[in-house]
Amino acid sequence: MSVSVRVPTILRTYTKDAAEVSAEGETVQAVLADLDANYPGIRGRIVDDNGKIRRFVNVYVGDEDVRFAQGVDTPTEAGTQVSIIPAVAGGC
């Protein structure tokens, strides 16, 4: 099943500047594995060595933050949009 993945600017070096790409998988974990198969190295920027989403990266399936769902085991239905969003910090 195919989903679309929105790629933040900071990771577009992996996707040859594509802001949105397609990936296959029934869970976020499978989508990230497929993404890494097509764009080597990108998965390591999203998850840590234990396979958990890095602290300063947010992943959404549709409008749902996967941290509040099933994490990397969150299901992805065909046609779903997965968004990878780096956390922003700072201020005055």
Task: Write the pLDDT tens digit of every residue in 63-76.
Answer: 999 999 999 999 99
Residue linked to tokens 């992943």: 59
Comparing CA positions, the residue from 26, 64, 63, 33 lying closest to residue 47 is 33
Rounded Cα–Cα distance for residues 39 and 31 (Å): 12
Identity of the amino acid at 18? A
Where are the alpha helices (H) located in the chain, listed in sequence order? 28-38, 42-46
pLDDT of residue 82: 98
DSSP 77-90: -TT-EEEEEE----
With cut-offs at 50, 70 and 90, classify the pLDDT of residue 26: very high
Homologous superfamily (CATH) for 2-86:
Beta-grasp domain (3.10.20.30)
Asked if the model's pLDDT at residue 32 lies above 90, the reply is yes
Average pLDDT of span 22-32? 97
Domain spans of the chain? 2-86
pLDDT of residue 88: 77
Residue 26: Cβ within 10 Å count = 14
In whole angstroms, what separates CA 6 from the centre of its chain? 8
pLDDT of residue 1: 78
Average pLDDT of span 11-25? 97
